[in-house]
C-alpha cells in the first residue's frame, strides 16, 4: 500500500473490523497517546465500529494541551516585555493562561508573531538586531530537533539576539508516569506515529517488557488505526506483549538517529510540569550549559504572577484519561471552539475539540 487512498480503502477497513470482531473475546482498554490519533479515531467513527469488548481511552499526547498554566504565564509575561519579540506556532496563540493569552497580550501591544518554522524565527532575529527574539518551544520529540538546529545555526552565524523558552516534553517518561500512577488501567498502547519517526519503536520497549502491555506504533489513516487495533487485540488474546509497527512507511526501530543527536547536543532531560500531572522527572528538555546564553528564562527578568486554573475545567483529568470531555459540565455549553475555556478545546489535537467536532451523541 503506497497511496493514501489505500489507507482509506473501505473494503480493507471492513476486513479489519471483521477480523477484530472475530478475534476479540476479552474486555480490553486501549489508549491512544497521541492527539492526532484521537482526532482520527473520532473523525472516522472508529469507536462505534468496534465490538463492546474494546474500550478506547485518549491519552495526553497533545503538546499544546499538556503545557501547564504556569508555563503559559511565563510566555505571556515574557511577550509583554517591551524589548521582546515572541515567536510561536499559531496553535499556542489562543490558549488561555491564568489571566490572559498570547492573543490578548498581542492585542494589548505585545510583539507576538506567528511563525511556521524556527527558520522564520531566526530570520526575524536576523532582520531585527535591536529586538530580543524569543522562540516559544512547545512540542514533543518531533519538534525539539528543529529547535535545537536553530540554536546551532544561530551560534554558527553569531546571531546574538535569539533565545529559546523551552517547554519541550519527552513522551516515554510521561507514559511511565501514567502507568505508575495506577489511576487508569491500560491493556494496550497505540504509540504515537510522528514521535516514533524520531525516537523509533524501541523507545516503547520498556512498556512491553516492564509493564507487559503490548504496544503498536500507528499511522493516522483509518486503515492504519484499525490495523493497529487488530494487532493489539491479537497480542492481548494470545497473552503477548511486544512492540510492533503498523506504520512502517514512517517508523523504524531506531528512529531518526541524526535528529536525536542534534536534539541531545543542545538539550538535556530535565523535570517538566504537565497539565494535570504535575512535575514528571526527566520529561522536559532544558538547554545544556554550553547553550545557556539562549535560555530566555535566565536572560530576562519577568513576573508570570500566581497560577490560576480555569474554573470548572477538567482538562487535567481528561489528559490523564480519568475522565472524558463529556464529564465536563462546561462541555458544549460554556466551552466551545469559538469560546474555549481550556486548552483541550483550543488545540486542533485536543480531546475536547475532537469530541465537539466529531463526537456522537453518546460520546
Ligand atoms: S470542555 Fe472545555 S472546560 Fe471542559 S475540560 Fe474541555 S477544555 Fe476544559
Distance of CA 354 to the CA centre of its chain: 14
The pick from 62, 311, 316, 330 for probing ligand 1's pocket by mutation, whose C-beta has the most ligand atoms within 8 angstroms, reads: 330
pLDDT above 60: residue 363: no
Residue 361's nearest CA partner among 83, 69, 45 is 45
The answer to whether residues 213 and 57 touch, using CB atoms and an 8 Å cutoff, is no
Q: For 154, how many CA atoms within 13 A lie in the half-sphere containing its CB?
A: 30
Cβ neighbourhood burial of 198 (10 Å; 0-12, 13-18, 19+):
buried
Q: How far is CA 219 from CA 19, 40, 254, in A?
A: 19, 10, 17
State the cell numbers at 193. 506515529
Report the separation in Å between the CA atom of 183 and the middle of ligand 1, taken as the mean of its atom positions.
20
Q: Which ligand 1 atom sits nearest the alpha carbon of residue 356?
A: 1
Write down all domains in the chain, each with its CATH number in brackets: 4-62+173-238 (3.40.50.11750), 65-170+255-289 (3.40.50.11740), 315-358 (no CATH)
Note the pLDDT of residue 100. Answer: 95
pLDDT tens, residue by residue, 113-165? 999 999 999 999 999 999 999 999 999 999 999 999 999 999 999 999 999 99
pLDDT above 60: residue 101: yes
How high is the mean pLDDT of the chain?
Answer: 95
Note the pLDDT of residue 142. Answer: 96
pLDDT tens, residue by residue, 306-358? 999 999 999 999 999 999 999 999 999 999 999 999 999 999 899 999 999 99
Residue 165's nearest CA partner among 100, 103, 87 is 87
pLDDT above 90: residue 112: yes
Note the pLDDT of residue 9. Answer: 86
pLDDT above 90: residue 8: no
Q: Pairing state of beta strands 267-274 and 278-287?
A: antiparallel
Note the pLDDT of residue 359. Answer: 82
pTM: 0.94
Report the separation in Å between the CA atom of 144 and the middle of ligand 1, taken as the mean of its atom positions.
27
State the cell numbers at 184. 487508569
- Ligand 1 atom 3: residue of nearest CA: 313
pLDDT tens, residue by residue, 281-296? 999 999 999 999 999 9
Per-residue pLDDT band at 85 (split at 50, 70, 90): very high
The dihedrals phi and psi of 339, each to the nearest 5 degrees, come to -135, 70
pLDDT above 80: residue 225: yes
Report the separation in Å between the CA atom of 342 and the middle of ligand 1, taken as the mean of its atom positions.
5
Determine whether the shortest distance from the Cβ of 354 to ligand 1 is under 6 A: no
Amino acid at each position: 500500500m503506497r497511496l493514501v487512498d489505500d489507507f482509506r480503502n473501505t473494503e480493507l477497513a471492513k476486513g479489519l473490523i471483521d477480523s477484530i470482531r472475530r478475534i476479540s473475546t476479552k474486555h480490553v482498554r486501549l489508549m491512544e497517546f497521541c492527539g492526532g490519533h484521537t482526532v482520527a479515531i473520532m473523525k472516522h467513527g472508529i469507536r462505534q465500529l468496534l465490538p463492546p469488548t474494546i474500550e478506547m481511552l485518549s491519552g495526553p499526547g497533545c503538546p499544546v494541551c499538556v503545557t501547564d498554566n504556569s508555563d503559559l504565564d511565563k510566555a505571556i509575561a515574557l511577550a509583554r516585555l517591551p524589548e521582546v519579540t515572541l515567536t510561536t506556532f499559531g496553535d499556542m496563540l489562543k490558549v488561555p493562561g491564568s489571566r490572559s493569552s498570547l492573543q490578548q497580550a498581542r492585542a494589548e501591544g505585545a510583539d507576538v508573531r506567528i511563525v511556521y518554522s524556527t527558520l522564520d524565527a531566526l530570520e526575524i532575529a536576523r532582520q531585527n538586531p535591536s529586538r530580543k527574539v524569543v522562540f516559544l518551544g512547545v512540542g514533543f520529540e518531533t519538534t525539539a530537533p528543529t529547535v535545537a538546529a536553530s540554536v546551532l545555526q544561530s551560534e554558527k552565524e553569531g546571531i546574538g539576539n535569539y533565545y529559546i523558552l523551552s517547554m519541550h516534553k519527552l513522551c516515554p517518561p510521561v507514559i511511565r508516569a501514567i502507568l505508575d500512577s495506577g489511576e487508569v488501567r491500560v491493556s494496550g498502547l497505540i504509540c504515537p506515529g510522528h514521535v516514533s519517526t524520531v525516537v523509533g519503536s524501541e523507545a516503547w520497549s520498556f512498556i512491553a517488557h516492564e509493564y507487559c502491555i503490548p504496544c503498536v506504533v500507528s499511522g493516522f489513516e483509518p486503515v492504519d488505526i484499525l490495523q493497529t487495533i487488530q494487532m493489539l487485540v491479537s497480542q492481548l488474546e494470545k497473552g503477548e506483549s511486544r512492540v510492533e509497527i503498523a506504520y512502517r512507511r514512517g517508523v523504524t526501530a531506531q528512529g531518526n538517529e541524526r535528529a536525536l543527536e542534534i536534539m541531545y547536543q543542545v538539550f538535556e532531560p530535565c523535570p517538566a510540569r504537565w497539565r494535570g500531572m504535575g512535575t514528571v522527572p526527566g520529561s522536559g528538555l532544558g538547554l545544556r550549559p554550553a547553550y545557556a546564553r539562549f535560555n530566555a528564562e535566565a536572560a530576562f527578568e519577568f513576573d508570570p504572577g500566581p497560577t490560576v486554573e480555569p474554573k470548572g475545567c477538567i482538562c487535567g483529568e481528561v489528559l490523564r484519561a480519568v475522565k472524558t470531555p463529556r464529564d465536563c459540565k462546561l462541555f458544549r455549553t460554556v466551552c466551545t471552539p469559538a469560546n474555549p475555556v481550556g486548552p483541550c478545546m483550543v488545540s486542533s489535537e485536543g480531546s475536547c475539540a475532537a469530541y465537539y467536532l466529531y463526537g456522537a451523541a453518546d460520546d
